[in-house]
Structure 1
C-alpha cells in the first residue's frame, strides 16, 4: 500500500531552569494514499474536453454569424452581436448546472438553452446558404448542436436528482433562507423610513412655536377664580369662543387666566390678542 509523509505539529511541555512552557513540536506521519478515482478522472477529462469544444463552437459561430451580420452593419458591431448567439445557450447551461439538484428549476433554462441553440444554428446555416456553401453551413450549424448535446450529457451525469421527500425538505430550507434574506432588505428599508419620519417630526417640532404650559391648578389661576365659583371643566376639545364663554360663566375673567384655559382645552397655540378680542365680545353680549 502506498503512503505519503505528512508533517504535523503538536504542543509539548518544555522546561528550562524549572520553568515549563508549551512549545510546538513538529513530527511526521505516514498516511495511506487512497487509490486513484478513475471515474472522477474520466469525468474531469470529459468536462475539460467539453469546455474546449464549447470555445471552438463559439469561435466558429461568431466568425460565421459575424460575417453574415457584417453585410448590413460595420464589422465590430456585427461580431459583437454574433457572440450573443452562442453566449445565450452557454449561459442557460450554466444556470442549468446551478440547478442540478432541482429538476423543476432546471427545466426553464434547459428549454431556453435549446431555443437559443436553434436560433444560433439557423444563423450559421443562413450564412452558408447566402455564401453558396449550403453543405458547409449545415456542418457548421451541426458543430454547435453537437457541443450542446455533449454538454447535456455531461450535465445529466453531474446532476444528482433527489427523491420527493428530500426535494420538499430542500425547498422548505431554501424558502426559509430566502425569507431571512428578504427580511434583511425589508428591515433596512423600514429602518430608513423610521429615520425619515423621526427627522421630519424633529424638524416640525423645531419650527413650531412652543405653547406655554397650561396648569389650571397654578396659584395664579386660583387668585383669579372667585371664592365659591365652580371649577373650570378640563375636558376638551372645544373652540376658542366656547372656551372663553365657559371661563366667563365660571367667573374667570382675567385675560391671562382665560388665555391659559383656552390653550389647555381649545388651542395650544391660541394667540393672546384673539383670546382678548373674544373675551371683550363675550363681555359685551353677557
Structure 2
C-alpha cells in the first residue's frame, strides 16, 4: 500500500490568560493511495479509440454518399442522415440495455441503417473504382460500427433470469407511476380549460360595465 502525505486543517483550542478560543491548526497526514483502476483506463481508451474511428467512418460515409448524390451541399446533408440516424439508434440501444425485447428492435434498426450506408458506399466505390474500391470503402463503415456492437456485448451486464424479472418489475412500476403522473397532468389541464371556458361563457352573458341590460325585466318600485 502506498501513501500520499497531505496537509489538513483541524479545529483546536488555544488558551491565554485563562481565555480559551477556537483556532485552526494544520497537520500532515498519510493518505493511502488507491491502486490504479486498469479496467476503467482500458474502457476509456477503447471508447476514445472507437469514437475516433467512428468519426472517420462518418466522414467517409458522408463524403461517399454525397458524391453519389452529385456532390451538392444538400447531398452532404443527406449523406450524413444515415450515420446520424445510426448514432441515434446506438444511443437508444444504450437506453434499453436492460430491456431485451426493445433492444432487439433497436438493434435491427441499427443494422438496417448500416446496411443502407454500406450499400450506398459500395455503389459509389464500384462506380468510381471498381469492385475492389467498393469492398474496401464499404468495409470502413462496417469496421467502425461493428466495434460498437462488440463493445456493447463486451460491457453489457449479465443478468440471471430472476434478476432480469426483478429489473423488469421495477421498470414496470416506475413506468406506471410516470403514466399516472402524465394522465393526472392531462386531466388537470382539461379541468382548467373547462373552467376557463365556463367562466368566459358566463362573462360573455353579462353586459359591459356601466351599461344597462335592456332585455332584463325592469324592477317595479314599491308603492
- Larger relative contact order (Cα-Cα within 8 Å, sequence gap ≥ 6): 2
Equivalent position to 2:157, from 148, 157, 160: 160
Q: Which runs of 5+ in 1 are unaligned?
A: 209-270, 273-286
Deviations 1:158-188 (A, max 9, x none): 2102112222222222122222222333222
Distance 1:109 1:90 in 2: 11
Matches of 2:100 and 2:168, distance apart in 1: 12
Kept in 2: contact 1:128–1:137 (CA 8 A): yes
Match of 1:226 in 2: none
Could you tell me whether the CA contact under 8 Å between 2:5 and 2:31 is conserved in 1? Answer: yes
Which has the higher Rg, Structure 1 or Structure 2?
A: 1
Distance in structure 2 (CA, Å) of the matches to 1:15 and 1:197: 73
Tell me the residue number matched to 2:179: 182
Residue of structure 2 in register with 1:136 after alignment? 133
Report the counterpart of residue 213 of structure 2 in structure 1: none
Name the residue aligned to 1:119: 116
TM-aligned CA deviation for residue 96 of structure 1: 1.5
Q: Deviations over 1:89-132 (max 9, x none)?
A: 22222222233333333221111111111110110010012224
Q: Aligned pair 1:102/2:99, yes or no?
A: yes
Check whether the contact 2:98–2:167 (CA below 8 A) recurs between aligned residues: no
Cα distance in 2, alignment partners of residues 21 and 157 from structure 1:
60
The two structures have a TM-score, normalised by structure 1, of 0.63
Residue 238 (structure 1) aligns with: none
Alignment root-mean-square deviation, CA = 2.9
Is it true that 1:53 corresponds to 2:53 in the alignment? yes
Which runs of 5 or more structure 2 residues have no equivalent in the other structure?
Answer: 207-216, 219-223
**3-state SS in 2 of match to 1:3:** strand
140-149 vs 170-179, which moves further:
170-179
Query: Residues 129 and 195 of structure 1: is their aligned pair in 2 closer, same or farther, counting only changes over 3 Å?
Result: same
Q: Distance in 1 between matches of 2:54 and 2:89?
A: 13
Q: How do residues 239-254 of structure 1 correspond to structure 2 at under 5 angstroms?
A: none
Q: In the TM superposition, what is the alpha-carbon distance from 1:201 to its structure 2 partner?
A: 4.2
Structure 2 CA distance, aligned partners of 1:99 and 1:13?
57
Q: Aligned pair count?
A: 210
Aligned residue number for residue 84 of structure 1: 81
The alignment's TM-score, normalised by the length of structure 2, stands at: 0.79
